[in-house]
Amino acid sequence: MTTDRAAGSAAALAAARVAAVEDDPAGRLRLLRELYADGGDRHLPFHRAAHAFLGWQVRRGLLNPLTSTRPGSPWWRAVNARLLRDTAEARALAGSAARPTSDSVRATLDFIERPSARRWYRAHNHSIVSAYLDHEELAGVEDRVERFFVNLALMRVLYAHALVAAPRLALGVLAPVAPPLGDPRLGMTAIFLSLSRVVPATYPLGDDVHAFIKAEHGFGHLLDVGVIQPRVADLYAWSADELDIPRLRDLVDGDVPVYAWDRADADLWRPPPSRFALVARRLIH
């Protein structure tokens, strides 16, 4: 079989595996675990972070069938499907000479062949950012609260990557402690990738973002307002270079994430920092 045919077969197999669970949220979780389990002990520990984020999506009903009495989100379904397809294709290609059908599959194959925290983030975030860019039109029809949290989720997952791969950018003078905090094999990563402490397990959420901003306190506010936001422009620029996706730079305007978001609606991204957030800003420079 030629390498082109092998790549096509791998892509077709991946598409079929994902299509089989398209309307089965629990099936998507099982497929994700199977794809990591196929790599044995070298890969399965990395499943923790991806599972935490996908589990949050399932609990909120984001991946429910569109024909359900409680329909899911076309955008979240599409983004998750891209991640699963890329992972399944890379798994099918492992050990062959066939060329991946996309850069995100290539990044995932690199992780499979040489697993590390940095390569895991590069693979995961390449798939996620590519899906964001491909499906911005779908994101645009989500309600205001959902679009806010879509941006927040991206900001956090890019930051978690930086903890491992650019610790000085992520934590300034505290850079030496950054890599273990972001390691996807450790439980702490779920704090960065899951928004369950802020977002109710419901969908959709409406347009009143203020209520959810007020509900975010403690660690979430400290992380988002005290640590990430002051460096968000640099974070997106670094991520664009790290992933080799220049268009990622267009998803932030100064200190405001603007994916499917009105640039004039910036005040929501600049809430008054708490005392602890102010301390964090001064400490992490």
- pLDDT value, residue 194: 56
Tell me which amino acid residue 82 is.
R
pLDDT at 277: 87
Instruction: Express each pLDDT in 130-156 by its tens digit.
Output: 999 999 999 999 999 999 999 999 999
Whether the per-residue pLDDT at 107 is higher than 90: the answer is yes
Looking at residue 170, its pLDDT comes to 96
Q: What is the pLDDT of residue 219?
A: 76
Has residue 91 got a pLDDT over 90?
yes
Compute the distance between CA of residue 211 and CA of residue 207 in angstroms, rounded to an integer.
Answer: 10
Backbone angles phi, psi at 244, to 5 degrees: 60, 45
pLDDT of residue 20: 98
Query: Is pLDDT larger for residue 203 or for residue 235?
Result: 235
Asked whether the beta carbons of 279 and 174 are under 8 A apart, the reply is no
User: Taking all residues of the chain, what is their mean pLDDT, rounded to a whole number?
Assistant: 90
What does 145-214 look like in DSSP terms, one character per residue?
HHHHHHHHHHHHHHHHHHHHH-HHHHHGGGGGGHHHHH-TTSTTHHHHH--TTTS-S-S---S-HHHHHH
CA distance 248 to 87: 21
Q: How far apart are CA 60 and CA 62, in angstroms?
A: 5
Torsion from C-alpha of 181, 186, 191, 195, nearest 10 degrees: 140
Kindly tell me the sign of the dihedral angle through the C-alpha atoms of 196, 197, 199, 200: positive
Three-state secondary structure call for residue 89: helix
Contact 213, 271 (CB under 8 A): yes
Alpha-carbon distance values, 232 to 47, 238, 240, 250 (Å): 27, 10, 12, 12
pLDDT value at residue 15: 96
- The span from the CA of 18 to the CA of 84, in Å, is 7
Tokens of 161: 């990557």
pLDDT band at residue 53 using 50, 70 and 90 as cut-offs:
confident
Q: List b or e across 4-20, with b for residues whose CB sees 16 or more CB atoms inside 10 angstroms.
A: eebbebbbebbeebbee
Residues 6+ apart with CB under 8 A from 202: 60, 61
Q: How many residues does the chain have?
A: 285
Mean pLDDT of 70-93: 97
Domain boundary assignment for the chain: 3-283
Element (H, E) at 5: helix 3-19
- Helix, strand or coil for residue 275? helix
Q: How far is the CA of 107 from the CAs of 17, 89, 154, in angstroms?
A: 20, 11, 18
pLDDT band of residue 108 (cuts 50, 70, 90) is very high
